[in-house]
Amino acid sequence: MAEIDLSAVFDAMPVGCAVLTNDLRYVTVNRAYERLAGQPRERLLGRHFYEMFPGGPGGHRISDVRASLERVAAEGETEVMPLLRYDVERADRPGDYEERYWSVRNAPLFDSAGRVIALIHRAEEVTAYIKQLHQGHPSGEPAAARVEAVEAELFARARELQDVNQRLHQAQEEERRANAAMRDALRRQQQAVADTSHDLRGPLTGLQTRLQLALTDPEADSQEVLHAALHDADRLGEIVTDLLELARLEAGAPVQTETVDLARLVEDELAGREPDVAVATRLERGLLVRGSAIRLARLLDNLVSNAERHAGSRVEVRLSCTDGHAVLEVLDDGPGIPPGEREAVFRRFYRRPDARSREPEGTGLGLAIARQIAGALHIADRTSGTCMVVRLPLSPG
């Protein structure tokens, strides 16, 4: 079979086609497009689409063409436009526009990397058909009535096509968002697995070493080895427990809720603690929220424990009401957290250097769990120390 010249095929196509850059300048056109435009290709190439076809005073749908081409360039999806009118300036009479009707399809042209590098603008003129409708019909039906009926039908079908296009774009956008969310979830899952493996390796290695020592060294103190092994097992148990709790929170597992008096919960939880620093409270009474008392107690415990680790000498727990929300604040007088790390501290297993030095065996999951329980947990700006802030909607009773 003889080799086919694709450029000759493009030029011979019976339907008008033009290739535009992403900023809507002509790259090339075929002969059919030249005839439709009433312009030689030499005059079109390099010029902007709307410079050559501004649409004229009756071309109010020209903005729809622009919007379609811009969507195709941005989203890389073919778009079929409803029947539309945009007028063309007469070549022999500048400023005089001829009424024209078109069926238009716009499609992307991709490079090898899948990027949109050009647009294919296919225009098929249907002006003759529309004008024929206005000439009446031999059946004796009044011309105006027939034209009105056909135009109404065309308009209805055009609107349906436009609605379908719009729904298709919405579905594609939702699919893109869903895919992005899935990729993000997969990335976070992979990171979680890597972080978990890293933090479990330490106590597991310690446990294996101690057991090997007990088996190979008859002089080893069995009580000392067993106590050390138990310590490693406890450490593993803490990490696994925290991971299971975090997994339940992230999965949105149902939990029994009740009306909780926050001031009373704070007092009960702090009463059972033996802190290394002074813990003060400033609590507004009568603030009721709907939630799990067990999880809210866990939230408070994690925040206070974190504050105690970083405090110089004092921790304060405040409870107040603002705009229909109970505001729980846990403050410490420690070195504070730099602005650049204020989101990082809520990632699982993230631990700042001072936290590792003060408590080397912490799980690094406390604040991640606290945020999952609270939903809205952030670090407020302070000149010194750290202030963790939780906002919970008040219960009506």
Q: Report d(CA 278, CA 317) in Å as an integer.
A: 11
CB atoms within 10 A of CB 14: 9
What's the pLDDT score for residue 253?
A: 67
pLDDT tens column, 291-309 = 888 889 888 988 998 899 8
What's the pLDDT score for residue 303?
A: 92
* Alpha-carbon dihedral angle through residues 65, 69, 70, 75, given to the nearest 10 degrees: 130
What's the pLDDT score for residue 173?
A: 82
pLDDT tens column, 274-283 = 888 899 999 9
Q: Report d(CA 223, CA 235) in Å as an integer.
A: 18
What's the pLDDT score for residue 358?
A: 58
Q: Report d(CA 357, CA 351) in Å as an integer.
A: 10
Copy the structure tokens of residue 30: 């075929």
Residue 145, CA distances (Å) to 151, 161, 322 in order: 10, 24, 66
Contacting residues for 309 by C-beta, under 8 A, at least 6 apart: 355, 358, 359, 362
Q: Report d(CA 89, CA 227) in Å as an integer.
A: 93
pLDDT grade, residue 214 (50/70/90)? confident
Q: Report d(CA 199, CA 239) in Å as an integer.
A: 8
* DSSP H helices in the chain: 6-12, 31-37, 41-44, 49-52, 62-75, 127-133, 143-216, 222-251, 262-271, 293-310, 353-358, 366-374
What's the pLDDT score for residue 24?
A: 92
pLDDT grade, residue 392 (50/70/90)? very high
Q: Is 96 exposed, middle or buried (0-12, 13-18, 19+ CB in 10 A)?
A: exposed
Three-class DSSP category at 17: strand
Contacting residues for 34 by C-beta, under 8 A, at least 6 apart: 40, 41, 44
CB atoms within 10 A of CB 5: 10
What's the pLDDT score for residue 354?
A: 60
Contacting residues for 230 by C-beta, under 8 A, at least 6 apart: none
Q: Report d(CA 29, CA 395) in Å as an integer.
A: 68
Q: Report d(CA 201, CA 283) in Å as an integer.
A: 42
Query: Residue 127: is its pLDDT beyond 60?
Result: yes
pLDDT tens column, 84-103 = 777 776 767 777 777 777 78
- Give the residue among 317, 309, 322, 321 at the shortest CA–CA distance from 279: 317
The answer to whether 344 and 378 have CB atoms below 8 angstroms apart is no
Please state the φ and ψ torsions of residue 23, each to the nearest 5 degrees: -95, 20
Q: Report d(CA 307, CA 331) in Å as an integer.
A: 7
Query: Residue 60: is its pLDDT beyond 60?
Result: no
- Best mean pLDDT range from 53-57, 82-86, 246-250, 388-392: 388-392
* Statement: the pTM of the whole predicted model exceeds 0.75: no
pLDDT tens column, 222-274 = 788 777 778 778 777 767 776 777 777 767 667 788 999 999 999 988 887 88
Mean pLDDT of the chain: 80
Q: Average pLDDT, stretch 102-125?
A: 90
Contacting residues for 248 by C-beta, under 8 A, at least 6 apart: none
Query: Residue 352: is its pLDDT beyond 90?
Result: no
Q: Report d(CA 161, CA 9) in Å as an integer.
A: 30
- Give the residue among 168, 134, 129 at the shortest CA–CA distance from 148: 134
Residue 383, CA distances (Å) to 204, 314, 336, 339, 378 in order: 41, 16, 8, 12, 16
